[in-house]
Amino acid sequence: PHAGPVENKNEAAMSELVPEPRQKPVVPMKPIGINTSLLGYIGIDTIIEQMRKKTMKTGFDFNIMVVGQSGLGKSTLVNTLFKSQVSRKSSGWSREEKIPKTVEIKAIGHVIEEGGVKMKLTVIDTPGFGDQINNENCWEPIEKYINEQYEKFLKEEVNIARKKRIPDTRVHCCLYFISPTGHSLRPLDLEFMKHLSKVVNIIPVIAKADTMTLEEKTEFKQRVRKELEVNGIEFYPQKEFDEDLEDKTENDKIRQESMPFAVVGSDKEYQVNGKRVLGRKTPWGIIEVENLNHCEFALLRDFVIRTHLQDLKEVTHNIHYETYRAKRLNGNGGLPPMTVETEEKHESNL
């Protein structure tokens, strides 16, 4: 008969132990009354310098892929971006070579050093893309290559004795070259971007923009943006990955005004008003590649290298790779492949 009150007591005690649902952490207020100038210098600000020293020692990886039809100046543009012969020409590719029958993928690695910062740059070229009469599913080898790099990274990551620094061959950025027709995107362009925007950061660029007048260029850019929007194609920088208001404001400007960048590439130097500039010589003058009045190359370079390079790498790691990793581990009961058989089965599925 006494069990009732005891149970109630226990229940009361239990309910006291049950933690309350966690509130959202409140942003701590600035401590009042602590005058750091009186307490002296601590040295927290040196953490940035410590990080800089560490990263300078290890260096950086950056893997950039160029996709588009032959003759759109893909190699030239990448050489212009990095101001050195980093694409195709330097890999012994001769002009006489025939266009491949299918999409071939050629990765060329270089180490570029500037101001003591080392960058291991890999340029992934895709000769043969969009050059055939029948281009059906010609993005498949490219998608397969991108996924293979994720798989390679995943295998290294799930090893029991894994490397302290896993070699990063994942594609951080894909420059997609649009032909300067002035009309609209081809079905092939839309199909490629629809498939690949889910697995890689795509930056659309209008190649050889000097073939269009200023009015044509502005109109074509607007049309391309509209078509991408109508077809639900998300290019980099994707809206949902803007971290804060500052990011959103900056990226909105790029998405609504700059994209797709209308560019001209050149690795030839000319003398203009006593200065040496990269440019293209035409009968009516020299198109200066880095002059914003002539083309948007400088905007693209600043975007890819000077402001968003680290973000491109982070989105690749935190979004695209994570998506691949989750799908891969879920489909495999949370474990990496153990036998050759399951690996072969997975490859046939890709």
Q: How confident is the model at residue 281 (pLDDT cuts 50, 70, 90)?
A: confident
CA atoms within 13 A on the CB side of 208: 14
Average pLDDT over the chain, rounded to whole? 80
Q: Quote the CA–CA distance of 243 and 125 in Å, as a whole number.
A: 31
Positive/negative CA dihedral, 82, 83, 84, 85: positive
* CATH class, 58-263+293-331 region: alpha beta
| Average pLDDT score over residue span 153-158 | 90
Q: Torsions phi, psi of 287, nearest 5?
A: -85, 115
pLDDT of residue 336: 57
By three-state DSSP, how is residue 219 classified? Answer: helix
Radius of gyration of the chain (CA): 26
pLDDT of residue 43: 84
What stretches of 112-186 show up as alpha helix (H) in DSSP? 140-157
Least confident of 61-70, 82-91, 169-178, 276-285: 82-91
Q: Which two tokens stand for residue 57?
A: 């020692």
pLDDT of residue 88: 61
Beta bridge partners of 67: 176
Cα-based distances in Å from 211 to 111, 238, 258: 34, 29, 18
Specify the DSSP element, H or E, that contains 112: strand 106-114
Domain residue spans of the chain: 58-263+293-331
Per-residue pLDDT of 99-151, as tens digits, reads 666 778 888 888 888 888 888 889 898 888 888 888 888 888 999 999 999 99
Entry pTM: 0.78
* Structural contact between residues 171 and 63, judged by C-beta atoms closer than 8 angstroms: yes
pLDDT of residue 256: 83
Per-residue pLDDT of 232-248, as tens digits, reads 888 888 888 778 888 88
Q: How confident is the model at residue 211 (pLDDT cuts 50, 70, 90)?
A: confident
pLDDT of residue 34: 53
